[in-house]
Structure 1
Amino acid sequence: MGFLLTIWLFVPQNIRLYAYKLLVRMGLRLYGPTTSPSCFRLPFDLYAKAGRAVDVHEANALRFISQRVRGPVPSLVDVVPNPQYPGRVFMVMTRLPGDPLEGRLWDMSPKQRSLLASELKQLFDTMRSIPSDGSEDLRS
């Protein structure tokens, strides 16, 4: 974790949430909406997730996986309670390198799709093989 991020996380949550919502608006203007109503591309190679279905369990899972899997997995940057949806959170995470797959799958050759499927299978198999000790929780 970088020095600036460490300092940023000491800023009160309501101020961080306000800043993230401004970044969402900037991201919508720069990049347009994503295919998910709860996911937003932000400036600075970040993504945010917010809404009724985004809770602390998803944040815990992302942190758990990003600490244990080598490869293309986003890192959790911040989790802030979302006052718009009590019991839910506003998550900010890093963006993966490369171009979004959205809309490109059908332009791929069968060989490229097969390679993608193989790489995704390998990544999911790696995630499934991680032993869970159940000790990590962001709520504490």
Structure 2
Amino acid sequence: MVARMAESSWATSAATRKSMRANKSFDTKPEIRLRKALYALGLRYRVCARPLPEVRRTVDVVFRPAKVAVELRGCFWHGCPDHYRAPKANNQYWADKVRRNVERDLDTERRLAEAGWLLEVVWEHEDLEQAAERVAVSVLARRGSAS
């Protein structure tokens, strides 16, 4: 049964399939570190929420009153211009997957901007404490301009 599943899968082996299925979609270590840094700065937020209820997409951290959304992007999954390296195995599958992710990221960014939101993008390779400070500046500035 396992061999049959691996044959019909996108994974190149059963071990690869097991490894990829174990990847978390939220509450990753970098996300938790970023959220802890934001919390330490006195910021309160929603986690894995839809900033635009009519759009079926979530972002990692949402500051609703300030209309600031924060996405923590993984270098592999989101095609980081500095760190993305195409895998050697199953190259076309992964190239298509990352391209779709990047297109979705751009579409989400456009939709948020049209609705008056600011999207702060944080890459996993960034210093997360510095990124949290950058986000805090944006949130506090937008809170100040809203009053």
TM-score (norm: length of structure 1): 0.31
Compare the two structures and name the one with the higher helix fraction: 2
TM-score, normalised on structure 2? 0.30
Which structure exhibits the higher relative contact order, with contacts defined as CA atoms closer than 8 Å and separated by 6 or more residues?
A: 2
Larger radius of gyration: 2
